């Protein structure tokens, strides 16, 4: 009988292996085991990169080091900020591409994404220096023309934001807030208004995309809107249209919805259809440190058919998106941004020259300059403003186009990928959050870089005849 204080001989090897693993350093940022020889010491980092690390990683101590993958992520983040927008190297909202560690090599070139939404505008990030909008249609009325996109209205903002989040080239931010698919082509399909998007009109929009998929080379359709009710995909016409689009070789990427905090947090069509890639929301705290990641309050399954949704999650808050030009919001943002960069002696004259643009500022003319600056900063923060052209937004409406843009990079990297393969790779390369229930996050946070690398190395089967 073995002594109670001594492990039996057959347990010695596992015990030694366990002790060896315990001695192996763990990256304090991502939690992965790192061989001691590969541990990245901060002596190898530039002071500016170290400052970015400290700002993004509360509680992290430089002497603990980090793994090469995390070090590369922060080095590339700093280089991107320094080279592209040195004046905003310390910007308050980090570009989504940096937070996802997305590939710089691919930009969605040669790939067309269709967007179904309430309305659109020909935003500079989509049409300068050349327009990448191939077509525009409105399923709610006849006679829609591309020229209609030059006139913004209240229904234009949501679709403008979703399309620019995915495909904007950052024309109004010197490239800082460009989407991952900044060279992709777009097809814009209006399926409603700011007041309402009807279940059946989303179906009609999907059917239009299916009919015109070959004409415009549509490989992805982004649906940042949902139907009116829960329904089984076996009987629901909208869900059936989504299934047909998938069979025709189109990746259908849909927002999960934002009802995660309600008792009825169900995912509704078309996101509830089996073949659809449904995207929930991640709250990454606008940081590069994965330890603080949490869920956004996105909807989740099981669906009425017992399917678990969403499949993956992506940033659903702190997402930079365009302000609709020509609106009161744009006028306010431009004034506040200008005040933020003005000299003390200029502040009151600028406010006096723009009465009513921001009523809170009209009462500030008697204040000292330092108090005016505090008020301006407060107004920028309260209105989620980043600059005169962008603000940060939230909702799974923006999680879905982020994943659509990753898919565009994957298809550019490997054009032979079938839609089902793109979906499978995104699922297989996602990273689970250990602190969140699986039913809320699916397979986890989409990993843009790994997904593109997997796409490059995927041996594709011959395409089935259409």
Extended strands (E) in 104-144: 112-117, 133-138
Give the global pTM.
0.87
C-alpha 428/C-alpha 58 separation (Å) is: 30
Between 89 and 144, whose confidence is greater? 144
**Is 60 exceeded by the pLDDT of residue 287?**
yes
Among 76-85, 232-241, 439-448, the minimum mean pLDDT is found in 76-85
**Is 80 exceeded by the pLDDT of residue 410?**
yes
Q: Where are the domains of the chain?
A: 39-58+66-90, 112-321+393-457, 326-388
Q: What is the mean pLDDT of the chain?
A: 89
**290 pLDDT tier (thresholds 50, 70, 90):** confident
Say if residues 265 and 303 touch (Cβ distance below 8 Å).
no
C-alpha 265/C-alpha 105 separation (Å) is: 38
R_g (Cα) of the chain, nearest Å: 24
Tokens standing for residue 24: 């192996």
C-alpha 74/C-alpha 30 separation (Å) is: 13
Residue 293's nearest CA partner among 392, 431, 162 is 431
**Is 60 exceeded by the pLDDT of residue 90?**
no
Q: What is the CATH class of 112-321+393-457? A: alpha beta
**86 pLDDT tier (thresholds 50, 70, 90):** low
**Is 60 exceeded by the pLDDT of residue 4?**
no
> According to the model, what pLDDT value does residue 73 have?
83
Mean pLDDT of all residues in 281-285: 95
Among 86-95, 280-289, 429-438, the minimum mean pLDDT is found in 86-95
Phi-psi category of residue 31: left, alpha or beta, with phi > 0 → left and psi -120 to 50 → alpha: left
pLDDT tens profile 182-223: 999 999 999 999 999 999 999 999 999 999 999 999 999 999
> According to the model, what pLDDT value does residue 19 have?
41
Neighbouring-strand partners of residue 185: 112
Helix, coil or strand: residue 186: strand
> According to the model, what pLDDT value does residue 9 have?
42
C-alpha 129/C-alpha 150 separation (Å) is: 16
Residue 270's nearest CA partner among 226, 228, 237, 301 is 226
Three-state SS annotation for 187-226: EEEECCCCCCCCHHHHHHHHHHHHHCHHHHCEEEEEECCC
């Amino acid at each position: 009988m073995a002594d109670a204080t001594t492990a039996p001989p057959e347990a010695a090897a596992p015990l030694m292996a366990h002790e060896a693993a315990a001695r192996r350093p763990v990256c304090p940022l991502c939690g992965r085991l790192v061989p001691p020889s590969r541990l990245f010491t901060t002596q190898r980092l530039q002071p500016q990169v170290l400052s970015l690390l400290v700002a993004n990683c509360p509680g992290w101590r430089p002497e603990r080091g980090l793994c090469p993958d995390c070090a590369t992520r922060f080095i590339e983040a700093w280089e991107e900020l320094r080279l592209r927008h040195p004046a905003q190297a310390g910007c308050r909202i980090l570009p989504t591409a940096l937070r996802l560690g997305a590939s710089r090599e691919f930009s969605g070139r040669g790939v067309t994404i269709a967007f179904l939404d309430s309305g659109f505008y020909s935003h500079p990030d989509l049409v300068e220096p050349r327009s990448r909008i191939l077509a525009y249609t409105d399923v709610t009325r006849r006679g829609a023309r591309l020229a209609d996109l030059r006139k913004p209205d209240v229904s234009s903002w949501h679709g403008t934001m979703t399309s620019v989040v995915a495909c904007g080239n950052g024309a109004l931010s010197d490239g800082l807030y460009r989407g991952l698919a900044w060279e992709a082509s777009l097809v814009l399909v209006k399926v409603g208004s700011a007041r309402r998007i009807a279940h059946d009109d989303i179906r009609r929009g999907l059917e239009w995309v299916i009919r015109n998929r070959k004409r415009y080379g549509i490989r992805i359709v982004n649906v940042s809107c949902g139907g009116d009710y829960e329904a089984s995909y076996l009987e629901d016409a909208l869900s059936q249209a989504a299934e047909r689009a998938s069979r025709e070789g189109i990746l259908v990427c849909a927002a999960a919805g934002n009802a995660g905090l309600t008792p009825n947090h169900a995912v509704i069509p078309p996101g509830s259809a089996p073949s659809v890639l449904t995207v929930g929301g991640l709250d990454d705290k606008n940081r590069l440190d994965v330890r603080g990641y949490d869920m956004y309050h996105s909807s989740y399954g099981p669906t009425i058919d017992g399917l678990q949704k969403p499949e993956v999650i992506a940033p659903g808050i702190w997402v930079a998106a365009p302000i609709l030009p020509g609106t009161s919001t744009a006028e306010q943002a431009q004034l506040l941004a200008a005040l933020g960069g003005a000299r003390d002696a200029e502040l009151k004259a600028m406010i006096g020259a723009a009465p009513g643009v921001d009523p809170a500022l009209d009462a500030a003319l008697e204040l000292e300059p330092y108090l005016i600056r505090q008020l301006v900063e407060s107004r920028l923060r309260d209105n989620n403003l980043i600059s005169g052209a962008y603000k940060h937004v939230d909702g799974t409406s923006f999680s879905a186009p982020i994943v659509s843009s990753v898919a565009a990079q994957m298809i550019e990297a490997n054009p032979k990928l079938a839609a089902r393969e793109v979906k499978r790779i995104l699922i297989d390369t996602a990273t689970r959050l250990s602190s969140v229930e699986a039913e809320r996050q699916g397979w986890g946070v989409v990993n843009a870089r790994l997904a593109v690398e997997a796409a490059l190395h995927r041996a594709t089967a011959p395409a089935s005849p259409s």
